[in-house]
Amino acid sequence: MTDTPKPNGPLHGLRVVEMGQLIAGPFCGQLLGDMGAEVVKIEPPGKGDPMREWGQGDKPAWWRVIGRNKFSVAVDLRTKDGQQLARDLIGEADVLVENFRPGALEKWGLDPVKLREANPGLIVARMSGYGQTGPYADRPGFGLIGEGFGGLRGITGEPDRMPSRVGISIGDTLAASYGAMGILAALHHRNQSGEGQIIDVALYESVLQVMESYVADYSTSGFMRTRTGAILPKIAPSNVYPCKDGEFLIGGNQNPIFKRLCDAMGRPDLASDPRYATHLARGEHQAELDGIISDWTRTLTVAELESLLLEHAVPSGKIYTAADMVSDPHYAAREAIVTVDDPELGPVKMQNTFPKFSATPGSIRKQAPHRVGEDTAAILERWLGRPA
């Protein structure tokens, strides 16, 4: 990153205290910080958030993403002085984000109800596995548990194997995203009423929200969706297909698009074949149609197939890796990937802020804190007026 001044973002002026660790709470804090909020992350003295050590490769870089645009303040919440310092900071904040197990804040003398009595405009987003109420509220719950309880794990993977992971911590990031959405809605309410509120975000309910008609289908017809691998059942062709040198995605399930795909294949007869001529017919003969398309795609390289299907306006694309992303001209044109200088790792490429605002764009204004508590003195002076 250069020293060019960065845009303030639409949440400029909003003060956020982030308490918690790992992914759900910290990713919510990242989203708010990316949009301009001043995020003070309270970390335990010593090693701080375990995310500082998470990641893969020789130089794990996850912390550089989830810790960006944040100020690290070291506070020992097990002590009375630490708890009072946390109360003081929260008293100056607009938003508190936390993802401890239910009851942890209360144990530390940080009951959100009492915090709001001292700061009526405070918005508190509480993230946990099962929510703050109900018979399972006290159970520990990481993202994968929420994915299982919310139904996602059960329908992910191949039908003849055990349920699979999506590949990212989707349960946590969904909860964080819904938490950020709830915070923005609560801010709108506060602008009208002056009152803050408490937002209860359960990981499993965040997963449940994206389960489409999973429950409704069971409720109305007893249909139970199961694992189907790469296909979308009864929607064909819509799959990943083999090439000479890799795999390629094709979505040609609408009638006009399917006809263009058939033309690209040199098989215009398929578009009028009763087995494939309609959406319903293709769904009934999905496996055999995928077999025909696979036999064709195997004769081409990924580049050849991509060029041909673009020529025929068939929705399709490569399955991108990180190496593809950092070298792709579309990523570059939209600045979807940016480079952030890190004192330890050097230049780090990572995803840019999102979504894109025309008037108040978000930005990465600050690299992730290198040391636990490195911003303690500056924040205490700026927020609380206490000399460094």
Query: Prior bond to 237 cis, omega within 30?
Result: yes
Contacts of 374 (CB under 8 A, 6+ apart): 72
Burial track 32-68 (b if 16+ CB lie within 10 A, e otherwise): bbbbbbbbbbbbbeeebbebbeeeeeeeebbbbbbbb
CB 343 within 8 A of CB 47: no
Looking up tokens 């938003």, which residue turns up? 95
The Cα-based distances of 54 to 14, 61, 124, 167, 175 in angstroms read 29, 8, 27, 15, 20
Residue 222 neighbours by CB distance under 10 Å: 7
Alpha-carbon distance 18 to 26, whole Å? Answer: 7
Q: In what order do the strands lie in the sheet with 238-243?
A: 238-243, 246-251, 316-318
CB 70 within 8 A of CB 373: no
Contacts of 129 (CB under 8 A, 6+ apart): 136, 139, 140, 141, 142, 145, 146, 149, 202, 203, 204
Rg (CA), the chain: 25
Q: Is there a catalytic annotation at residue 263? A: no
HEC string of 90-106 equals HHCCCEEEECCCCCHHH
**Of the listed 34, 49, 172, 375, which one is catalytic?**
172
**Enzyme catalytic residues:** 172
